[in-house]
Amino acid sequence: MFTFAVDGGSMTDASPRPAQQVTQMIAAEKVRLQAPQDKSTRRMITRVLRVLDQQREDLDRLIAKLIESDDDWRNRRDLMSSVPGVGQTTASKLVAELPELGKLNRQQIAALVRVAPMNRDSGQFRGRRTIFGGRASVRCALYMAAFNARHFNPLIRRFSERLRAAGKPFKVIVVACMRKLLTILNVMLKENRPWDPKLQMA
């Protein structure tokens, strides 16, 4: 069973964080399930996935309970969930797994989460820009939030439409929306203010 300890205003535990560890284990088991397997092995993997899913739900409930017990964490969650497209589950995940949010500048927070494309250049060779490393579980949460925000958040929707009109591929648009949303959340927490569609915060 995973447990959290409260230390100096952040949720800490043995590295890697329990929620990240469970997410990684689920991803690994899903990859195994896609490979050719006999029926008994597939049943075993499916049972493991059910247990891991239950553990993830238990962790989500524990995180939510911890956030409710702390005024600062609760305020951070409520500020973030005021943004159209960002639900309380996503906001809670960001409170728990990205405590640096609101304390870094836009370049630093994008680099930490790795939503700033990294180049693979060498000499005269120009490789494809990609995102890798960083906090994968945070990126997963941001992906879903950005996907929803493209439909329900007027600022993100306009930004997405401009990129689409410019002929950008879907993946490039979504990553750019993730970075835009992360920057908005970073400013909101830094300035301790809720979402206001009239303000251009990023």
Helix/strand/coil for 50:
helix
pLDDT tens, the chain, 202 aa long: 344 444 444 454 433 467 778 877 888 888 888 888 888 998 999 999 999 989 888 888 888 899 999 999 999 999 999 999 999 989 999 999 899 999 999 999 999 998 875 444 455 544 444 444 467 889 989 999 999 999 999 999 999 999 999 999 999 999 999 999 999 999 999 999 999 877 655 5
Is 57 exposed, middle or buried, given 0-12, 13-18 or 19+ CB atoms closer than 10 A?
exposed
pLDDT at 123: 54
Which of 52, 137, 147 lies closest to 96, judged by CA?
Answer: 137
Question: Domains of the chain: which residue ranges?
Answer: 5-69, 73-191
pTM: 0.73
Task: Tell me the C-alpha distance between 97 and 107, whole Å.
Answer: 18
pLDDT at 12: 46
What are 26's two structure tokens? 């689920």
What region, left, alpha or beta, does residue 54 occupy, with left being phi > 0 and alpha being psi -120 to 50 degrees? alpha
Q: Are 131 and 42 in contact (CB under 8 A)?
A: no
pLDDT at 201: 57
Task: Tell me the C-alpha distance between 80 and 72, whole Å.
Answer: 12
pLDDT at 26: 87
What are 171's two structure tokens? 């993946």
pLDDT at 80: 96
**Cα–Cα distances in angstroms (integers) from residue 45 to residues 48, 59, 126, in the given order:** 5, 21, 41
pLDDT at 63: 86
Task: Tell me the C-alpha distance between 68 and 133, whole Å.
Answer: 31
